[in-house]
Structure 1
Amino acid sequence: MNSSCVKCLKQMVVSLHFLCWLCGAFVVALGEFQMMHSRFASLITTFWPIYPANTIIVTGTIVTCVCYLGVLGGMKENRCMLISFFVLLFILMLVELAMACVFFVYSREIGTYFEEDLTLSLEIYRQSSPGGNHTIKDDFDTVQHLFKCCGVHSVADWKGNVPVSCCSLDPCNVAGQLNWEEGCMVKLRDWFARNYLSTASGVVTMFLIQFACLSITIPLFCHLSRRGLGYQ
């Protein structure tokens, strides 16, 4: 392999690894944005371990660190860094495949979990004292206001004690308020499913970029190995 090919290969390695690093940083920022603007976590406790915001923050952080190692390895032509990058990124890709399988399994049970969690949250809301369980109350009120819905299946779930957040008028006449009739379960489930879809699309895109990074790293590592370079 002549010097011009090696130089071109090195530039491709550094560029792809840097692109992968940027993707990881963007994913972390997206996860933080979702975390700050999502007010529904306390209502859907079953999904908290694989909540989309949590998942992409952890994944993006790991990808950023691993790809930074790849960028340094490509720039310094360091075989140790390149092989470490290759192994770590390969393991990370296996983990991402496992995550995709988990998402697929959970997506088929999402309706059952949503109904159970929302029903429990509504009962806690109803039975709480005026000064208790502020988080659940605020989150449930936010859901009903944003999605223009009331209760889990319908306004009847509140059994006559309907909160102001169900009011369909603005400003609302509390004395004789008109309420949204549609329940929140379907709307919130659809919103959550769309977030899962966007998360899955991001994981697939990052997976393809990572695969390209692995493929382009091998020729450079082999060249450095044949020349006995890369450990200085």
Structure 2
Amino acid sequence: MNSVSSRKQHQLFKAVEVSCCVKYFLFGFNIIFWLLGAAFLGIGLWAWTEKGVLSNMASITDLGGFDPVWLFIVVGGVMFILGFAGCIGALRENTLLLKFFSVFLGLIFFLELTAGILTFVFKDWIKDQLNFFINNNVKAYRDDIDLQNLIDFTQEYWSCCGAHGPNDWNLNIYFNCTEFNPSRERCGVPFSCCVKDPAEDVLNTQCGYDVRLQGELDQQKYIHTKGCVGQFERWLQDNLIIVAGVFVGIALLQIFGICLAQNLVSDVKAVKANW
């Protein structure tokens, strides 16, 4: 009789044991989450220390002095802490850490959903901010090498020039067309606005000189005449499915992580209830 009773108790304990698959899958999930957090945190701390492109963005955004570098530090720090809590919680089967992980991951998911809705509602304001950002970057083009590289990369990647067109470069003291501008770059544009010639092996950094003295049709032979704001909108529309897929994928991963954590909490509670 005792043998039968012992066997039943063993089977009952075995039936409610913690799933190793869930436990180590959650651990692996959090390792990736933790490493991404460490990467964001590292980038943020590096930018804050070096006062490079990310730090200098504060001077050319209309966000009340908010420094975008802190966004990297905060996001990286939160991801680092959550990933660490999830890893330790999964390995140690600590329900408090697992609950902390799932609650805060759920909060992040809610904030992302809210941000997505606000982005759609205030899309005109975001467009104005992008326009403001590019025009202020145009003004400061020669003042900071990091910002200069940023605007050059943007114009080359999206095959654009200025926020709305090449004439936006009148905002820059070196490129404006005023009569008293002594700069050799007067009435020109940066080389990143130029239409690239595949036959050229060496980059011609003077290809934009005097180009805005010509008519618009003639300008199109040498430079991109579309603005970066419009090109960005067009890129977003052309890649809408990919962009939406990335955001949906991130959301599903977060929901998956919450489900794994809650499943593991239930398993741990069930095992403790049978002790």
TM-score, length basis structure 1: 0.71
Name the CA distance, whole Å, in 2 between partners of 1:199 and 1:212: 20
8 Å CA contact retained: 1:167, 1:180: yes
1:13–1:202: structure 2 CA closer, same or farther, 3 Å change rule?
A: same
Which residue does 1:18 correspond to in 2?
27
**CA, structure 1 residues 122+112, in 2 after alignment: closer, same or farther (shift >3 Å)?**
same
Summarize the Cα distance change of 1:97–1:216 in structure 2 as closer, same or farther, 3 Å threshold: same
Give the alignment of 1:65-104 within 5 angstroms: 65-74=84-93, 81-104=94-117
Identity of aligned residues (%): 15
> Which has the larger displacement, 106-115 or 49-58?
49-58
Q: Please say if 1:5 is aligned against 2:15.
A: yes
Q: How far is the alpha carbon of 1:118 from its aligned partner?
A: 1.2
1:66–1:88 CA contact under 8 A, matched in 2? yes
1:217 maps to what in 2? 264
How far apart are 1:165 and its partner, in Å?
1.6
Q: 1:186 aligns with which of 225, 230, 255?
A: 230
Partner AA of 1:146 in structure 2: Y
Residue 58 of structure 1, CA deviation: 4.4
Structure 1 residues 112 and 65, CA gap change in structure 2 (3 angstroms): same
| Aligned length, in residue pairs | 214
Partner amino acid, structure 2, of 1:162: V
- Go from structure 1 to structure 2 and tell me whether the alpha carbon gap of 1:57 and 1:186 turns closer, same or farther (over 3 Å shift): farther
CA shift in 2, pair 1:66/1:198, >3 Å = farther
Are the equivalent residues in 1 in contact too, given 2:163–2:227 (CA < 8 A)? yes
Larger CA deviation: 148-157 vs 108-117: 108-117
Contact 1:28 1:60 in 2 (8 A): yes
Provide the TM-score with structure 2 as the length reference: 0.61
Q: Letter of the 2:271 partner, please give it.
A: L
Question: Between Structure 1 and Structure 2, which shows a larger proportion of helix residues?
Answer: 1
The offset of 1:72, in angstroms, is: 1.5
User: Which of residues 142, 162, 170 in structure 1 aligns to 2:189?
Assistant: 162
Unaligned stretches of 5+ in structure 2?
1-10, 47-51, 171-186, 212-221
Higher RCO structure (Cα 8 Å, ≥6 apart)? 1
Alignment of 1:40-55 (within 5 A): 45=61, 46=63, 49=68
CA contact (8 A) 2:31 2:87 kept: no
The structural deviation recorded for 1:64 is: 1.7
CA contact (8 A) 1:122 1:151 kept: yes
2:159 & 2:53 partners in 1: Cα distance? 15
What per-residue deviation string (whole Å, max 9, x for no partner) do you get for residues 164-192 of structure 1? 22111334463576111111113345668
Structure 1 contact 27–56 (Cα < 8 Å) conserved: no
Of 162, 179, 204, the match for 2:251: 204
Equivalent residue, structure 2, for 1:135: 146
Instruction: Give 1:73's aligned amino acid.
Output: R
Indicate the residue corresponding to 1:78 in structure 2: none
How far residue 30 of structure 1 moved from its aligned partner, in angstroms, is 7.9
User: Tell me, what secondary structure is at the counterpart of 2:195?
Assistant: coil
Shift of 1:212: 1.4
